[in-house]
Amino acid sequence: MGDPFVELRNCTRCALSETRQRVVIGSGPQHPRLMVVGEAPGKNEDEGGEPFIGRSGQLLFRLIEEETGLTRVDCFVTNVVKCRPPQNRTPNAKELSACRPWIDEQLRTVSPALILAVGNTAAQSLFQTKEAMGVLHGELRTIGGVKALATYHPAAALRQGNNVVEMMRHDLATLAQELS
């Protein structure tokens, strides 16, 4: 069987294709109980080829496991933007819009039971809103008919400490109730 992601792997729809090392597609089971969607690859992810493999990812999946019992291998993990923005800047509107068809296709084909949008950029893009994370987090909404919840990015927790961790735990506890 050929590579089903050959088109995505070679995507040049936006300028991030000129500076990335690789397209970080994401991975995990089909029809998982949870699909975790972040913002964009960072340096570690651009080098390693998988989303959330740095310190942020370790914290995120520790919290997910502690609050929901799900481990990384239970989840499909990806980002709304598949290539690393230079210096890890926030993806701009043009890049988000160029990459949107890829996440839409993944949401369709992966078909998760629940979606966790991680961080402001992922949440605003997936929910198509300008509302801030202070409003969005912890509230069950839907994306394409699938229940979805937003939480803070673990990078914010690493920068700002325990109060963000506690809010993430609270959001993930809501997710756990939906999963049970």
Among 35, 53, 98, 114, binds ligand SF4 (CB under 6 A): 98
- Give the interface size with ligand SF4 as a residue count (CB under 6 A): 14
Q: Does 25 bind ligand SF4 (CB under 6 A)?
A: no
**Residue 22 binding ligand SF4, by CB under 6 A:** no
Q: Does 107 bind ligand SF4 (CB under 6 A)?
A: no
**Ramachandran region, residue 62 (left: φ > 0; alpha: ψ -120 to 50; beta: rest):** alpha
Query: Closer CB to ligand SF4, residue 14 or residue 77?
Result: 14
Which two structure tokens, joined as six digits, stand for 12? 């040049």
Q: Residue 13, interface with ligand SF4 (CB under 6 A)? A: yes
> From the list 45, 95, 117, 124, which residue makes contact with ligand SF4 (rule: CB under 6 A)?
95
Q: Does 99 bind ligand SF4 (CB under 6 A)?
A: yes
CB of 38 to ligand SF4, least distance (A): 13
CA–CA dist 168, 147 (Å, integer): 18
Among 38, 118, 31, 106, smallest CA distance to 75 is for 31
Q: Are 107 and 125 in contact (CB under 8 A)?
A: no
Is 83 a binder of ligand SF4 (CB under 6 A)? yes
Strand ordering across the sheet containing 34-38: 75-79, 34-38, 114-118, 146-151, 141-143
Task: Give dist(CA 44, CA 54) in Å, integer.
Answer: 6
The reply to whether 82 sits near ligand SF4 by the rule CB under 6 A is yes
Interface ranges with ligand SF4 (CB under 6 A): 11-14, 16-17, 23, 81-83, 95, 98-99, 102
